Amino acid sequence: MTPAVQKPCPGAGSPSFHLRDGELWCEDIAIRGLAARFGTPLYVYSATTLASRLAEVRAAFGPEAHVCYAVKANSNLSILRRLHAGGAGFDLVSGGELRRLQAAGLPTSGAVFAGVAKEHWEIEAAVAAGIMFFNVESAHELPLLAAAGQAARKRVRVLLRLNPDVDAATHAYISTAKKDNKFGVALDRAGAVVEAIAREPWLELCGYHVHLGSQLRTVGPYAAALDRVLEFADGAAVRRDGVTHYDLGGGFGIAYGAGEPLEVAAVAKCLLPRLRERRWVPVVEPGRYLAGDAGVLVTAVLGEKNQGGTDFLLVDAAMNDLLRPALYRAEHPIVPVRATAAERRVVDVVGPVCETGDFLAQKRELPRCERGDLLAVLGAGAYGASMASNYNTRRRPAEVLVEGAAVRLVRTRETFEQMFANEDPDED
């Protein structure tokens, strides 16, 4: 038998998703077979891509760096276990994400906990779990953290999240370090917060945290942020003494949408010499960069219609399954699972949800499709399943993890009974 001809898949950010004789595969498994076995909509993840991306970041920043995967990007327990096995720690933004690590049987000592509005129970739980650092976002957190440390009889290690007012040139909803964003402490107010930390015997300032936003494509914003942090630290001895770590956040851009992916090694090359001069250990928090290109959303065509001069392609995945196009105008590449010579046309790919904003793509050129044909939305491994909802009483998709020729169902498709289980708890 002639071996299948393997070619790159246009738009795919990882070679794990490729074409064999015109069919889309994930590693050594045909996507069409997965859809037949598990149904659609369906999330498919590549274990090889997760491992290779993590290894790339670890190699760029060196063995001394703490690489903490941003759990919010994709919090599936199997994904967390895979990344821990590759040497990742974790970036948490909720007590629920801490519970996920514990449910997955993973150590919490390599976790950092950020979040602009931490609740009292979350702080206590994270202190009890012995996390590595809290990223302090507001002065009001300090007495809560100190009280939790005193109750546990141990000093709480903190990084102060600074807002350096750096424009990362990304979408407004995923920009986090401009002066009008809710995150971090403005530099002109941060000195007083550092002094308050220094006065508190149950707190230990270990460094600074900056996160600029998501989908950054150039080194410049990372360099500008470090410039401002170093200038701040040099403003007083209390801001420098005892500082050992610099958390530069994540936000490394991948290939979808306009522009090229970020060259992570270039970020490391720019920042590491300056950090090593200070003996500051880097902390990095990639999420999308590790998981985004490691996943696709597979959806089936239901039909088509023309209205008002627009051709609509109707599919069974919707904004509740993948919110990013509606929320951020994200432009995920979409490809047929089976290549076809059918004529190409410009369509809006839309789902069943009762919202005009329910689209996976607009004004996208695709070959003419028939009912039952499959499409793959690429670059959907991050902020896809983790942001999915039950809007319109729709069940969240199943998720599968592929490694070579092995397939594991890592989340079953939600049932209606599961959706209704917590409602009307007092009913007989």
Length of the chain: 428
In the numeric block, the tokens 């202190």 are attached to: 127
Question: What's the half-sphere exposure (Cβ side, CA atoms, 13 Å) at 55?
Answer: 8
pLDDT tens digits, 234-283 = 999 999 999 999 999 999 999 886 678 999 999 999 999 999 999 999 99
Range list for CATH 3.20.20.10 in the chain:
109-286
* Alpha carbon separation from 203 to 123, 136, 200, 250 (Å, rounded): 13, 11, 6, 25
pLDDT score recorded for residue 195: 97
Rounded-to-integer distance, Cα 185 and Cα 45, Å:
37
Closest CA to 395 of 37, 33, 35, 40: 40
Note the pLDDT tens digit of each residue in 376-414. Answer: 999 999 999 999 999 999 999 999 999 999 999 999 999
Q: Which two tokens stand for residue 422?
A: 């917590």
Q: Is the pLDDT of residue 171 over 50?
A: no
User: Which two three-digit tokens encode residue 357?
Assistant: 């904003």
Q: How far is CA 420 from CA 50, 182, 339, 387, 414, in A?
A: 34, 35, 40, 19, 11
Interval 280-292: pLDDT, tens: 999 999 999 999 9
Q: Is 343 helix (H, G, I), strand (E, B) or coil?
A: coil
Is the Cβ–Cβ distance between 387 and 352 less than 8 Å? Answer: no
Side-by-side strand order, sheet with 29-30: 6-8, 17-20, 23-26, 29-30
d(CA 342, CA 417) in angstroms, rounded, equals 41
* Model confidence pLDDT, tens digit, residues 80-132: 999 999 999 999 999 999 999 999 999 999 999 999 889 999 999 999 999 99
109-286: CATH topology is: TIM Barrel (3.20.20)
In whole angstroms, how large is the CA radius of gyration of the chain? 23
The answer to whether the CB of 212 falls within 8 A of the CB of 222 is yes
- How much is the pLDDT for 3? 64
DSSP label of 283: E
Six token digits for residue 297: 């959303």
Residue 173 CB partners (closer than 8 Å, separation 6+): 327, 328
pLDDT tens track for 183-223: 689 999 999 999 999 999 999 999 999 999 888 999 999 99
* Whether the predicted pLDDT of 174 surpasses 80: no
| Three-class DSSP category at 146 | helix
Res. 335: pLDDT tops 80: yes
The pTM of this model reads 0.94
- What residues are labeled active site? 354
Contact 361, 349 (CB under 8 A): yes
The CATH number of the structural domain formed by 6-46+292-420 is 2.40.37.10
Q: Which of 392, 366, 386 is nearest to 77 (CA)?
A: 386
> Quick one: which of 66, 64, 82 has its CA closest to 290?
82
Where does CATH 2.40.37.10 sit in the chain?
A: 6-46+292-420
Q: Report percent pLDDT > 90 for the chain.
A: 88
